[in-house]
Structure 1
Amino acid sequence: MAYIWLIIGFVLLIKGADLFVDGSSNIAKLLRVPTILIGLTIVAFGTSSPEATVSIIAALEGTADVSMGNVIGSNIFNLTLVVGIATIIFPIKVENETIRKEIPFTLLASVALLVLISDTVLQGFDVNYISRSDGLIFLLFLSVFMYYVIEVALKSRENVTQEKSSHDIKWGKNILLTLLGLAGIIIGGQMVVDNGKDIAYSWGMSEALVGLTIIAIGTSLPELVTSITAAIKKESEIAIGNIVGSNIFNILFVLGSSAVITPLDVNGKVVIDIIIMIALTVLLLVFSRTNYKIRKTEGVILVIGYVLYLTYIIIRN
């Protein structure tokens, strides 16, 4: 029965992403703001909902490893497999502002995470952990990012021309499409995670390995499906904005909220994963600077990178 629910979850994910991309891109036109900003905010926050749900529940239940592993694993999945597959389907165009500001902000959030968890090195503590004050710092960073996005949106409104007249695009219809799509993404993602875990446990996989693989991949499926759908529809701004925005939300909102609820102990092994995440963010920045486009060959490199990372964590655990 778990296999049937898994398939239904995938169907909801795919259809939900299709509606979500259509609705959100039309809302961008109605608001007269760049599509990239919708990708960075509405789409990114929506596709990060499964990570937020899983990590906050894990924090409440006192399983910090699941919360941390989910976020770090999801971000690495986004930077490698999601960008890679979307790029192989259709090369992603990257705007100058994304290269100069949004991707560096993702890098800043990742480095801040590494610094804040390095308690044994920097403060001589016995264990590394994310305290409530660290969580508040993350949420403060998030408010700065949201202020930047809103400011850019307001400045850009006058410069963005609508591709269709307001008679062709209706508010009610596209808000409904976006909400239905988001519901499909969240429900489908949760079904995939729950049933994927059941199947994995039946295969004899350990809880740690399930957290790093099944949960991280499962909660990132909305980003994967949404970015692939956006790439097929040639909505590059939503594809890259979704990935960059999701990684920012995962670190700043998901870990920030989880840590405010209860301090998170950090497994020493996760430090290596965070360093890998930082290196991959730098690699994405380098690839983005090559003619402001991530090419298919670079996408293949990223996919291979994820296969190598997955092999590494399976051997490590």
Structure 2
Amino acid sequence: MNYVLLLLGFVLLIKGADIFVDGASIIAKKLGIPSVIVGLTIVSLGTSAPELAVSLISGINGNNEIAIGNVIGSNIFNILIVLGATAVISPLIIKKSNIKSDFIINTLVTIFLFIVTFDSLLSIKNNYISRLDGLILVFICLSYIIFLIIKTKNNHGSEEVSAEISEEIINANIFIKIITMIIGVSGIIIGGNLVVSSATNIAYLLGMSEKLVGLTIVAIGTSLPELVTSIVAAIKGENDIAIGNVLGSNIFNIVLILGLSSLINPIPVNASLFIDFIVLILINLFIGILIFINKNRDKKLSRIEGIILVCLYVAYMLFIIKRN
């Protein structure tokens, strides 16, 4: 029954986030907010909604190891599996100029989180993400959103609603869309509760730690929206969306999700997660080397490189399961 509830929780999380994003996007466009800004803010936040729900509920319930494990595991999954599997299905042509700033921000916030968590290498047994750390992370999140909006306006200017969707927007009933958004949020909350409670029960039944469940089962489940979005985008030739989705989601996972979670309850961090933080930083740097090592304007992430990323994730999974 716990496995059924876990699956049901993931379905509610993903479908709830999809319904919420759809309703929010239509309302924003109807109010005249450019769709590119909607995509960079509402949609990016929407794909991180499952992680947000799970981490916040975990923090409230005191299951802090699931909260931190969920974020670290999701970010590792996004880089190695979402990018890797997407490249295997359809090699990615990455425009370096479009993702350079987001890549730098993603790497910096990851290193910053590592520093504030393990601020004393001589005493890594008692570490936590404090409320002050959380406040700083939330401030960084707000600054990043403002940066995205300013960058978008500078690059694209004001954007008109496209003809193919204008009729849908004109005919949209804001009241009904608000109702669907409420339904979507309800699905996210209920799904988050089911995932946390069932995953915790599974951990106890199988002798797994909450940390391992967060790094594996929960992290993979809550990253499904990013996986589906990136694969579909790559198949349609929207390579910028595929890579941008991963970088944006990873940034929001750290600055928004861990920021809000630690504001609710300071998050104790298990000493063994020191290695997982290092792994996350190293694969960020590895991706940076793959993308920016040559001087060409664009980088093609090939199928071979995609397979390498997937194999690295399999090796990481085997390592943390054996470690548990």
Match of 2:299 in 1: 292
Pair 1:151 & 2:150 matched: yes
Matches within 5 A, 1:169-248: 170=169, 205-248=208-251
User: What CA deviation, in whole Å up to 9, does each residue of 1:48-92 have, x standing for no partner?
Assistant: 111111111222222322211111011101111111112212222
Greater Cα shift, 93-102 or 277-286: 93-102
Decide whether aligned partners of structure 1 residues 278 and 24 sit closer, same or farther in structure 2, where only a CA change above 3 A counts: farther
Q: Is the 8 A contact 2:51 2:253 kept in 1?
A: yes
Query: 1:192 & 1:62 partners in 2: Cα distance?
Result: 14
Counterpart code for 1:73: G
Decide whether aligned partners of structure 1 residues 16 and 55 sit closer, same or farther in structure 2, where only a CA change above 3 A counts: closer
Query: 2:198 & 2:215 partners in 1: Cα distance?
Result: 16
Decide whether aligned partners of structure 1 residues 18 and 296 sit closer, same or farther in structure 2, where only a CA change above 3 A counts: farther
Identity of aligned residues (%): 45
User: What CA deviation, in whole Å up to 9, does each residue of 1:97-129 have, x standing for no partner?
Assistant: 44320011000100100110123338x687211
Match of 1:88 in 2: 88
Match of 2:281 in 1: 278
Query: 2:24 & 2:243 partners in 1: Cα distance?
Result: 14
Pair 1:43 & 2:50 matched: no
Q: Is the 8 A contact 1:117 1:130 kept in 2?
A: yes
Decide whether aligned partners of structure 1 residues 4 and 53 sit closer, same or farther in structure 2, where only a CA change above 3 A counts: closer
Query: 2:4 & 2:100 partners in 1: Cα distance?
Result: 45
> Structure 2 length normalisation: TM-score?
0.79
Q: CA RMSD in A?
A: 3.7
Decide whether aligned partners of structure 1 residues 193 and 305 sit closer, same or farther in structure 2, where only a CA change above 3 A counts: farther
Query: 1:174 & 1:275 partners in 2: Cα distance?
Result: 48
Query: 1:263 & 1:14 partners in 2: Cα distance?
Result: 27
Give the Å deviation of 1:219: 1.5
Match of 2:110 in 1: 110
User: What CA deviation, in whole Å up to 9, does each residue of 1:286-317 have, x standing for no partner?
Assistant: 33336333222221111111001101101111
Question: Secondary structure in 1 aligned to 2:74?
Answer: helix
Question: Secondary structure in 2 aligned to 1:293?
Answer: strand
Q: Is the 8 A contact 1:85 1:299 kept in 2?
A: yes
Question: Secondary structure in 1 aligned to 2:237?
Answer: coil
Query: 1:235 & 1:194 partners in 2: Cα distance?
Result: 37
Give structure 1 stretches of 5+ with no counterpart. none
Query: 1:174 & 1:230 partners in 2: Cα distance?
Result: 28
Greater Cα shift, 307-316 or 152-161: 152-161
Give the Å deviation of 1:236: 2.3
Decide whether aligned partners of structure 1 residues 243 and 260 sit closer, same or farther in structure 2, where only a CA change above 3 A counts: same
Decide whether aligned partners of structure 1 residues 132 and 10 sit closer, same or farther in structure 2, where only a CA change above 3 A counts: closer
Q: Is the 8 A contact 2:90 2:235 kept in 1?
A: yes
Pair 1:133 & 2:140 matched: no
Decide whether aligned partners of structure 1 residues 104 and 22 sit closer, same or farther in structure 2, where only a CA change above 3 A counts: same
Give the Å deviation of 1:203: 5.4
Decide whether aligned partners of structure 1 residues 128 and 22 sit closer, same or farther in structure 2, where only a CA change above 3 A counts: closer
Decide whether aligned partners of structure 1 residues 165 and 214 sit closer, same or farther in structure 2, where only a CA change above 3 A counts: closer
Match of 1:261 in 2: 264
Question: Secondary structure in 1 aligned to 2:272?
Answer: helix
Decide whether aligned partners of structure 1 residues 22 and 50 sit closer, same or farther in structure 2, where only a CA change above 3 A counts: closer
User: What CA deviation, in whole Å up to 9, does each residue of 1:213-251 have, x standing for no partner?
Assistant: 111111112222222222233332322222111110110
Q: Is the 8 A contact 1:21 1:230 kept in 2?
A: no
Pair 1:304 & 2:311 matched: yes
Q: Is the 8 A contact 1:24 1:174 kept in 2?
A: no
